[in-house]
Every structure is written in structure tokens, then in C-alpha cells.
Amino acid sequence: MTAWSSGPFRRRALLLVAAAALVLGMSVLDGCAKDSRPDDASGPGGDRRTTITIGTFGVFGYKQAGLYEEYERLHPGITIKESVIERNDAYYPQLLTHLAAGSGLADIQAMEVGNVHELATARADLFEDLSRAKGVHRGDWLAWKWAQATTRDGRTIGLGTDIGPIAVCYRKDLFRRAGLPADREAVGRLWAGDWQRYIDTGKAYKRRAPAGTVFTDSAAGIYNASVHGYAERYYDRAGRPVHATSPAVRASWDLAMQAVRAGLTARLKQFEKPWDQAYANGRFATVACPPWMLGYIKEKAGPAGRDKWDVAAAPRPANWGGSFIGVPRAARHRAAAVELAVWLTAPAQQARLFERQASIPSTPAAYALPQVRDARNPYFGSAPTGAIFTAATRGIPTLVFGPREQQIGLAFTDVGIPQVEQQGKSPRAGWRAAQKEIENAVDE
């Protein structure tokens, strides 16, 4: 699932969304239970059918990949109905409201990686323990992915869907014009091992940059790509908040500030309209690129960008994004929902999802399947995206998460960094603004 569907964090916005969910949610709970989730409707010939409901944010791709249709064909008594809320910042407060009420829930609920720790820590008793489900084998998943949704006493509230190993997408034509190598392996060697080398490459690009272009889209993109390569970022292993002193945060902040001071960024805010337009205009030459970014680039750059973009290995292993699906204990059809969740997240289905959505599986067994192993993306110069992104999973640390992971991260990327990059304030002022936003938004 795309990380960009989470949207920017704003404390006031979240409070308004939560308030709206409380007001609206309670008024529609009965309707959700009765109307949107028919219990056992009659099928052809009077057969009884069970409708399993799935609540997601953004596009998970199960429907688009034909997985619901196939499951219904394999299980004639089952109908699957998906309900989608576009953005996680609207979806998640509603999920919390329904969990607290014990009703209005879908049989399967999606969970974004930035929220799953809070759910596993504070609300695990409201979900089925999927580690005990028939057909689930812990070893099928990447160890760090499994750990993200697992409680200290070993209960697993969600099965991993996609992950977001980071590569770097770059414009071959702009690299050539700037006197840099354009071959993807040579490009990867420019910055192999260190994001500082990526910044240094940006400075080399700037010296001969084609008119009207800069090296990268945003300082926030650099920050995210760097900080997600560290195990401890905003919390330490004891669960204490360390966002003000974290070496990972400091190092990533410094990289972002270097890029701003050197004039390497387009000073754009990711996932806003000017950023979208910059893809079409060829404004920047590189962007930190989890697999979910490929479809975004293709959409925004359009036909004119075909075969101009390519994909190279990132400086260091890191993961940005990814999701889970779980079964609330208040689900109407728990047993059937568990069976479906296990099937949807099995390696074979994750490989098919990759084939349709470019979502990198969290089950390594899928990497050997031809849909992943042999995958090439024609838009990106036939880049072997299956091989590039699965190789990028090696070395990703088991990230330490805390209860306010998203809010803290977005305070840096959506408040602190823009004050420096777009408003011209000093790095010290931007840092203070981020810390103040965290103090206001997070009750530690």
C-alpha cells in the first residue's frame, strides 16, 4: 500500500477528523452493520452466502488484481465487499472510533505501518491473534515485518501485505546532460553505502545541471529515505521518545539541511500539486523511490517521461511504507475473515499483487516466483524492478516503533523542513519548529 496515501499530519485536522468520526460514526454504526454488510444473503438457487467486508485506505490492489474474484470462485459461498477511504488520516481515526465502540467494523481492517505499533501495544485484545491461524507460518514473512505487528507476548494482530524498500529513481537524460553516468549500475555506484555520497553526487550534478533543473525534489524526501534506514529513530528499544536526541534523526536532518543549503532541491512538498507538475515538467533529476512511487511517477510524468526515468539501488537499505490486514474480534464473520486474510497475504497472492500493483511482497518466498523474479518495468527503461527492490530488502533493520510514530515523523517533514526549505528560515529555527509541533501534538 502506498505510503503517500497517509497524507500530511496536522493536529487540528486529525482532531476534526476524529470528532467527525465520533459524530458521524455513531450515527452510521447500525447502518454499517445492517446495510453495508449483509449477513447471509441468498444466492442463486436459494443458497446462503456469507459477505466478508474489508476496510482499506487508498488502493491495496486486491480487487484490481482479481484476487477477490478468484477467492469467490474458489469459495462459492463467499462474497467479498471492499470499502475504501482514500486517505489514512481519515481512515485511522474512524477505525479507532469503531474499535472503541465494538461495532461498525469491517471483517478485515487494513493497518498502516505507522499505526500498527499503537494498535499492537494498546488495542491488541481487540484483534484476532493471527499467529495461531491455520496456514500461517511466521517464517513466511520477513522477520522485521512480522515483528512490527506482534506484541511482546507473541500475539500478532496483522499479517504483512506490502513493504517499501527504497531505491532511487532518476532521469537518465538529465544525468547524461549533466556529465554523469546514466547506466543504472554505474549510477548506484555513485552513492553506494552512504547518503552523504548522494548529496555529493547532487553537487556534481549542479555544476553542469541542464537549465531549469535541480538534483532532487525535496529535502523531506532525503530525510525520509535516510531516517528509515535506522532501527531506532523516534523511540528507543525501551519505548522512550528520543526524537530530540536521536542520532538517526540528527543525521537525516543534517543531510536534508545540506541539500537545502547547496540548492539541490526543487523546494517542493511531496504529494501536492506543484510536486505533481514538476514530474511533468522534468524539474528534478532524482527522487527517493520506494516501489509504490513507480506508479505515481508514471501517472504524473505521463507518456513524455517514458524511458527517461530509470531505477538504481539506494545508498543504504531502508524501508518507507507498507501495511497489514487484521481481523477485529468484533468482526461479524471472524473465522471466514481469518481464512481470507491468510489467503490474501500468502506468497502466491503477494506475487500476483506485485505483478498488478508493483507492491513488493513481505513474504520472501514470493521473490522466487516469476511474477517478481523476472519483473521489468517498461516505463523505466525495462528496469529489473523485481530484482532491484527484492535486493533492497536485504539489510533493512527491524525498526523500533512508538505510539506516535507518524505524528513525530511528519512534524519534521511537514513542519520543520518546509520552514527552512520554502520559507528561508534557519535550520535551527526549523528544528525548533518541529520539536514544538511534536510537543503540541504528542502527549508523551
Cα–Cα–Cα angle for 207, 208, 209, nearest 5°?
100
Q: What is the DSSP string of 299-329?
A: HHH-GGGTTTEEEEE-SS--EEEEEEEE-BT
Which grid coordinates are listed for 118?
A: 499503537
Q: In 138-234, where do the E strands start and end?
A: 159-165, 167-171, 214-216
Q: What is the DSSP string of 218-245?
A: -HHHHHHHHHTTSS-SSB-TTS-B-TTT
Q: Among 294, 313, 264, which residue's Cα sits nearest to residue 378?
A: 294
Q: Fold for domain 3-163+321-380?
A: D-Maltodextrin-Binding Protein; domain 2 (3.40.190)
Q: What is the DSSP string of 1-33?
A: --GGGG----HHHHHHHHHHHHHHHHHHHHHHH
Question: Is the separation of the CB atoms in 228 and 180 below 8 Å?
Answer: no
Which grid coordinates are listed for 132?
A: 495461531
Q: Among 250, 292, 251, which residue's Cα sits nearest to residue 270?
A: 292
- Phi/psi for 185 (5° steps) reads -70, -40
Is 436 in a helix, a strand, or coil?
helix
Question: Is the separation of the CB atoms in 6 and 406 below 8 Å?
Answer: yes
Domain 165-318+385-441 of CATH type 3.90.1170.10 = no
Distances (CA, A) of 106 to 91, 160, 410: 12, 18, 28
Name the helix (H) or strand (E) containing 50. strand 50-57
**Domain limits, CATH 3.40.190.10, in the chain:** 3-163+321-380, 165-318+385-441
The residue type at 192: A
The residue ranges of the chain whose pLDDT is under 70 are: 1-47, 443-444
User: What does the pLDDT read at residue 441?
Assistant: 79
pLDDT tens track for 343-392: 999 999 999 999 888 889 999 999 999 999 999 999 999 999 999 999 99
Name the helix (H) or strand (E) containing 284. strand 284-289
Is 169 in a helix, a strand, or coil?
strand
pLDDT tens track for 89-126: 899 999 999 999 999 999 999 999 989 989 999 999 99
Please write down the HEC assignment for all residues of 379-410: HHCCECHHHHHHHCCCCCCCCCCCCCHHHHHH
